[in-house]
């Protein structure tokens, strides 16, 4: 019996210089999707394309104005490439900005509107106070005494892998207390307090920017990391639903667990650079037991075209095994 296919889209932190550039100009569907995003009205796509393809690494590559739109576009383009080779997803699941890649892949909004969507998100986030995120190897119960009204759980990636989020000064204080008490902590690659109250006003502004975008019911199931459940048609048509994830935690593990415990065997394809979603998903019992399988589509830095096509062929083979 063919396995079901789920595509995972990573969020900020997965980005690196030259991610996916080896596919550009060699994979027609991938290239067309990237160009559709870069050429979309409402944002500085031409400049973004130049910076992405530049041989030298920019010190600002981790900035939200570059990292998030490129991760968004890369996810959409990799998903389009996979589908062009006959691999149709049964479910989509995105981490943070990756949920917008999932929405676009499911035709909730078009690539033609994606420039406006990402511009609205970036402009809204730019007005937030400086902040950050902190990876902590623990569970929500043990971390609870260290949380404050400003420093909250921004993501539950696995049962024992959390991201805390908050304004820079408050987050540094919490990080110091955690380290003093033996917690393993690592700053995440973010200069904003995503998925925390610090982004509440940004979420409201982002929703206003969404109101110029045509929204439709998803044509593919989206397992929301905002709720842990499939996105309903009503939610998909609501700008506030897509915007409020900026100020609310990413429930990656809940979404993945709810998907994988339904009883179906899945092939999980990670449509993004590296393998951050794959590393988290591998901790799930369905992956440990090998009932479900993982394939990162872009595990190498630049995205070697031959290697990427080999992975797509492997996906087809595994899906129909």
Q: Give the tens place of pLDDT for each residue, 27-44.
A: 999 999 999 999 998 888
Domain of 156, CATH number, reads 3.30.70.250
Is 192 a member of any domain?
no
Which span out of 48-57, 162-171, 305-314 was modeled with the highest average pLDDT? Answer: 162-171
pLDDT at position 59: 61
| Phi, psi torsion values for 44, nearest 5 degrees | -85, 65
Of 47, 211, 64, 73, the residue nearest 128 (C-alpha): 64
Task: Check the CA dihedral 232-124-98-304 and report its sign.
Answer: positive
Taking the C-alpha atoms of residue 235 and residue 2, their distance in angstroms, rounded to an integer, is 30
Q: Are residues 177 and 56 part of one domain?
A: no
Structural domain span for residue 160: 131-187
Lowest-confidence pick of 124-128, 180-184, 203-207: 124-128
Q: Are residues 70 and 57 part of one domain?
A: yes
Contact 296, 303 (CB under 8 A): no
pLDDT at position 302: 57
**Mean pLDDT, the chain, as a whole number?**
92
Q: Are residues 250 and 204 part of one domain?
A: yes
Q: How confident is the model at residue 189 (pLDDT cuts 50, 70, 90)?
A: confident
Is 167 a member of any domain?
yes
Of 55, 170, 73, 66, the residue nearest 114 (C-alpha): 73
pLDDT at 58 over 70: no
Residues 6+ apart with CB under 8 A from 279: none
pLDDT at 126 over 80: yes
Q: Are residues 207 and 111 part of one domain?
A: yes
Domain of 255, CATH number, reads 3.40.366.10
The strands making up 152-158's β-sheet, listed across from edge to edge, are 152-158, 161-167, 131-136, 185-187
Q: What is the pTM of this model?
A: 0.94
Q: How confident is the model at residue 314 (pLDDT cuts 50, 70, 90)?
A: confident
């Amino acid at each position: 019996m063919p396995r079901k296919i789920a595509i995972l889209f990573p969020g900020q932190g997965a980005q690196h210089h030259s991610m996916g550039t080896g596919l550009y100009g060699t994979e027609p569907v991938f290239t067309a999707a990237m160009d559709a995003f870069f050429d979309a009205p409402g944002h500085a796509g031409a400049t973004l394309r130049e910076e992405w393809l530049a041989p030298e690494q920019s010190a600002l590559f981790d900035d939200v104005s570059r990292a998030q739109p490129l991760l968004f576009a890369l996810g959409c383009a990799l998903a389009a490439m996979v589908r062009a080779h006959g691999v149709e997803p049964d479910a989509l699941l995105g981490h943070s900005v990756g949920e917008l890649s999932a929405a676009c892949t499911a035709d909730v909004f078009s690539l033609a509107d994606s420039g406006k969507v990402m511009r609205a998100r970036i402009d809204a986030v730019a007005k937030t106070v400086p902040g950050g995120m902190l990876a902590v190897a623990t569970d929500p119960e043990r971390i609870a005494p260290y949380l404050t009204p400003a420093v909250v759980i921004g993501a539950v990636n696995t049962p024992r892998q959390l991201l805390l989020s908050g304004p820079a000064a408050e987050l540094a204080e919490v990080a110091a207390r955690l380290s003093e008490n033996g917690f393993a902590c690592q700053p995440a690659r973010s200069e904003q307090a995503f998925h925390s109250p610090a982004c509440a006003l940004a979420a409201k502004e982002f929703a206003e920017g969404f109101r110029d975008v045509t929204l439709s019911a998803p044509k593919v199931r989206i397992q929301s990391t905002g709720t842990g459940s499939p996105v309903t048609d009503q939610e998909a048509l609501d700008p506030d639903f897509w915007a409020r994830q900026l100020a609310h935690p990413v429930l990656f593990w809940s979404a993945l667990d709810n998907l994988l415990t339904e009883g179906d065997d899945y092939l999980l394809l990670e449509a993004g650079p590296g393998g951050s979603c794959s590393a988290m998903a591998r901790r799930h019992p369905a992956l440990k037991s090998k009932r479900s399988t993982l394939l990162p589509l872009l595990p190498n830095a630049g995205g070697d075209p031959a290697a990427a096509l080999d992975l797509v062929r492997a996906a087809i083979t595994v899906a129909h095994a």
